[in-house]
Amino acid sequence: MALRAPLRCLRHTPYLARPLSTAGTSHTADLHAQAQARSTINDSEIAHFSRLSALWWDEQGEFQMLHRMNPVRMRFVREKLAEMALEDDGDADVTPADVLRGKDVLDVGCGGGLLSESLARMGANTLGIDASPSNVSIASLHASADPALAASTQGRRRGALAYQHTSVEDLLAARGPASFDAVCSMEVLEHVDNPRAFLDSCAQLVKPGGHLFLSTIARTPLAYLVTIAAAEHVLRRVSRGTHTYAKFVDPAELVDFFRAYRPHGRPWIASAGAPARTEAETRGMVYVPWDGEWVLAPRGAAWAEGCNYLFWVRRPRE
């Protein structure tokens, strides 16, 4: 089997490389102009995942690695929210086990609902959105098997769960900004068009003092070898064409984006050097094949951020 991937693709221009304006009003106008210029939805990506929608809840199938990754993603979300709650109020009675209870959380690009269901089971009032109607149908069907996840259920420890077929920019237009305590978008950024506008829409939906969680793939030779050469072509764990190397985003690009992102005058990341742990954090996720599990790398382990990683950033309080 020949794997034809020219080495020049490993030196592609960074996906978020175009300079940002640093002035509040011009920056916001620039981002909104981009968002209006074209949707963040890539039709071929949506068609690809729509064809696979029936496989979302097969734990040994196409999305096996995401099923195994989901506990690590949830651990990061819960621990970071609990850490920041205690940072805000040292006397707060909060733990990772209950920190999501009652929070309004958006899951952008929810797919079959793996993360959305987990969020709701931990008490978050969760809205999952996806640009693929078949993904939304599968997610809704699976959730319907558990009456405790129904959006109409009241007086429970679990949160409400609802799904909607829409894009993040259309949801922003319908609901308005500052609608959610936390916005999550896991394994989505590397599949969208116009990623800067996508990040802007996600960020606008976060309430002041709220949280944005992302997970994506770094643009490194290691990531190419693992996610495309090995996973798609050699091991065939995922379908060919699932990933596009040129659309991978390095952690430093996200930090730079939110360092310049100041729609309300204050940048989301104000530190000149490495972000303060109260502003933003990047954590690598490493797959351990002999255990068949993902592990969350320790804080500050840059060596682990060369492939799959999680990113958190907090919107400043106003």
186 assigned ligand-binding residue: yes
Q: Which helix (H) or strand (E) holds 183?
A: strand 180-186
Q: Is 48 annotated as a binding-site member?
A: no
190 is in an annotated binding site: yes
The alpha carbon dihedral of 5, 7, 45, 283 has a sign of positive
Q: Is 232 annotated as a binding residue?
A: no
Beta pairing, strands 161-165 & 206-217: unpaired
As given in the structure block, the two tokens for residue 15 are 């996906």
Q: Hunting for tokens 């420890």 — which residue is that?
A: 157
- Is 187 part of any known ligand binding site? yes
Angstrom distances, CA of residue 4 to CA of 7, 52, 89, 233: 9, 24, 55, 10
Is 109 one of the annotated binding-site residues? yes
Element (H, E) at 162: strand 161-165
Sheet holding 206-217, edge to edge: 161-165, 125-130, 104-108, 180-186, 206-217, 308-314, 280-288, 293-296
Binding residue ranges for Mg(2+): 187, 190-191
User: Which residues are documented as binding site?
Assistant: 73, 109, 130, 186-187, 190-191
Annotated binding site for S-adenosyl-L-methionine: 73, 109, 130, 186
